Amino acid sequence: MGNNYELYKVFYWSAKTGSLSQAARALYLTQPSVSHAIKQLEDSFGITLFHRTAKGVTLTSEGAILYSYIEQSHILITVAEEKMAALKNLESGELRVGGSDSLFKHYLLPYLEQFHQQNPGIRVHLHHGTTPEVISFLKEGRVDLGVVRLPIVDPQLEVQESIQLQDCFVAGTKYAHLQGVALSMEQLMNNPIILFSRNSRVRMAITELFQSYGYTLKPEFEVGSVDLLIEFARKGLGISFVTRQFVAKELEEGSLFEIKLDVQLPPSQVGTMIMRNMPLSNAASHFIELIHAD
């Protein structure tokens, strides 16, 4: 017994408004065609769905059961229609990228500039967050892709490697006496250490490395941005742990220098991630191609 969707729509609006005339207005129909549709449904089920009253209509107990299902499907169809409209608009309109401030500034900026030059009509939205936050943005559909440090192990996500970064300890001229010396972890820890405060990949990696040698790395300062890590080190407040590529300018001009350790600091890989089974908008596909073309 396949009643068509239009009959259920008439039923839904009649039940929701409690009035056949209001349902007719909502659906741009005449009131007789609404009454006829309800009668068709009732006949097909052999069940009375509405009580007619002076004020309008109320659901019978059987009608209420049908309504509970139809309401759910109506919500799903509405969401589906909105999703389709959004997909269509993405073609003309939006690129939504999740990532950390530092990756946006020091790694993604040239790609964003290039993308904007090639596609001036597309609005770009950057959503800032730590790796776990960016993964949430992706799963909630708030971004099209994320740019994060790897490894990411998640069956719902598809990850592509792009570049390798190297983290290191840096200091300003106040610590010039440490230049060119390979320090032990213990010697390093005799100095004030400056770390990124949020629960970032970089922070977790260095904490774990020190723990693996039996040391607990306790920072003197915890700051919320790479810019502050750089600034604090330049001012001589301590030794900062940063990504070498992000301080290239300071290392070159000599306002910072790298402090060598007698242990190897592991490199970290950066990559893009997308939802595994979700179609990508044209804008997102194009941007990912740009990043991985290098």
Of the candidates 171, 101, 93, the residue with the CA atom closest to the CA atom of residue 133:
101
Query: Which residue in 229, 232, 239 sits closest to 260, CA to CA?
Result: 239
Structure confidence at residue 86 (pLDDT):
66
The residues, any chain, with a CB within 8 Å of residue 107's CB and separated by 6 or more, are: 147, 163, 245, 270
**Percent of the chain topping pLDDT 70:** 96
CATH number assigned to the domain comprising residue 34: 1.10.10.10
Q: Which residue among 35, 61, 89 closes a domain?
A: 89
Query: Phi and psi dihedrals of 224, rounded to 5?
Result: -95, 5
* Residues 83 and 201 reside in one and the same domain: no
The mean pLDDT of 23-50, rounded to a whole number, is 95
Q: Domain total for the chain?
A: 3
Angle at 149 between CA 146 and CA 251, to 5 degrees: 120
Task: Please check whether residues 184 and 275 belong to one and the same domain.
Answer: no
Q: By three-state DSSP, how is residue 240 classified? A: strand
C-alpha angle 56-60-65 in degrees, rounded to nearest 5 = 125
Q: pLDDT of 37-64, one tens digit each? A: 999 999 999 999 999 998 899 999 999 9
Extract the tokens encoding 127: 């959503």
Residue with the bigger pLDDT between 106 and 68: it is 68
| Domain region containing 118 | 90-165+269-293
Checking if the pLDDT of 91 tops 60, the result is no
| Structure confidence by residue, pLDDT tens digits, 112-136 | 999 988 888 788 999 998 888 999 9
Same domain as 250, residue 171: yes
